[in-house]
Amino acid sequence: MTPARVFSAADVDRLLDRRELLDELAHGFVALSAGDVTAPTRIEVPVEKGYSLAMPAHRTGSHIVVKIVNVFDGNLAIGLPSHQAVICAFDADTGTCVAILDATVITALRTAAAATLSARILARDGARVLTIIGAGVQGQAHLELMPLVRDLDEIRIVSLRFGDAERLAALDARATAMRTAAEAVESSDIVALCTHSGTPVVDAAAIRPGAHVTSVGFCEPDGELPRPLVEHASLFVETRLAFEPTPAGCFELQGLDPTSGTELGEVLSGARAGRRDADEITVYKAMGHAVEDLVAAEIVLRRAGQADAATVNL
């Protein structure tokens, strides 16, 4: 049996081209909305201090991938990532495991890339002021990726701890740490929520007309995104599975009519409208979907040379 290739976090970080990820995610979301991706509902295994999710996916011409992601929020206090993950890639003709990829970097980048893609297609023309709320892994990934799709003049960083906001802001000359979300969002064109909060982190009334809001946080009981904003803005999701009970769906969307959300793939294919006018508030609520892991893993495997990974016999 051919040994499986093993890609470390450093390998993945080096091989996962960010611009290619954005473009391939767009194709992936179109395929997802068209029914061309097989991705059973993810499975949750809860334990005392966190939970583990299994997320498989396949589409024609790709590997079969299965991601296991473990979410343990208490890890932050002991210097470990709250999200740790691995992806196994299998040959779709034989079922043979051909690669094992550290997916902690993939999870961070594909999540931020999906939010960034939503900004590329939904933020209004001329959007130049970005606010990022949350200065952790997702805050950093958003800071890296959002400038790839918009010519930003100003980036505002808000965090529960001001020092964390200052450290993240130091990574980009356009960025400034701010002490309150209210002050930051009032004149922002794009607002990216990247927190572990189980309660809303912004006031819906503070979001300016024409803004685009993204939310990638997932935390009980209510999530980081205010329900009034969800109910009154134009809502966009990866798939309408986002309206299902957790862990498949989002806390903020429970009880809402699934037809109230438009899938990103539907906008990208032209099947449904995106932004309709300059004053419309648009909201993208992420739930995370295995097609994103599939797309990211395929980029790494496609770009890898023979010297880019170790091997292991299974």
Examine the domain organization and report whether 143 and 242 are in the same domain: yes
Least confidently predicted of 124-133, 136-145, 194-203, 303-312: 303-312
pLDDT (tens digit per residue) in 151-162: 999 999 999 999
**Residue 119, domain member (yes or no):** no
What is the pTM assigned to this prediction?
A: 0.95
The mean pLDDT value for 211-219 works out to 96
State the residue range of the domain holding 79: 4-106+291-312
The mean pLDDT value for 238-244 works out to 96
Residue 306 pLDDT: 66
CA distances from 190 to 144, 159, 193, 269 (A): 15, 16, 10, 23
Examine the domain organization and report whether 160 and 281 are in the same domain: yes
Examine the domain organization and report whether 266 and 153 are in the same domain: yes
Residue 1 pLDDT: 64
Question: What percent of the chain clears pLDDT 90, i.e. is strictly above it?
Answer: 92
Examine the domain organization and report whether 168 and 214 are in the same domain: yes
**Residue 113, domain member (yes or no):** no
pLDDT (tens digit per residue) in 21-75: 999 999 999 999 999 999 999 999 999 999 999 999 999 999 999 999 999 989 9
pLDDT (tens digit per residue) in 272-293: 999 999 999 999 999 999 999 9
Residue 217 pLDDT: 95
**Residue 120, domain member (yes or no):** no
**Residue 200, domain member (yes or no):** yes
Examine the domain organization and report whether 283 and 298 are in the same domain: no
Number of domains in the chain: 2
Query: How does residue 174 score in pLDDT terms, banded at 50, 70 and 90?
Result: very high
For residue 167, pLDDT beyond 70: yes
| Residue 119: DSSP 8-state | H
Examine the domain organization and report whether 153 and 200 are in the same domain: yes
**Residue 112, domain member (yes or no):** no
**What does the block give as tokens for 306?**
């023979």
Examine the domain organization and report whether 137 and 92 are in the same domain: no
**Pick from 276, 274, 297, 230: nearest CA to 119:** 274
- pLDDT, averaged across the chain: 95
Query: How does residue 305 score in pLDDT terms, banded at 50, 70 and 90?
Result: confident
Examine the domain organization and report whether 150 and 244 are in the same domain: yes
| 236: CATH | 3.40.50.720
Q: How far apart are CA 287 and CA 31, in angstroms?
A: 17
What percent of the chain is helix, strand and coil (3-state, nearest 5)?
35, 25, 40
Examine the domain organization and report whether 97 and 132 are in the same domain: no
Query: How does residue 264 score in pLDDT terms, banded at 50, 70 and 90?
Result: very high
Examine the domain organization and report whether 67 and 166 are in the same domain: no
Examine the domain organization and report whether 144 and 262 are in the same domain: yes
Query: How does residue 294 score in pLDDT terms, banded at 50, 70 and 90?
Result: very high
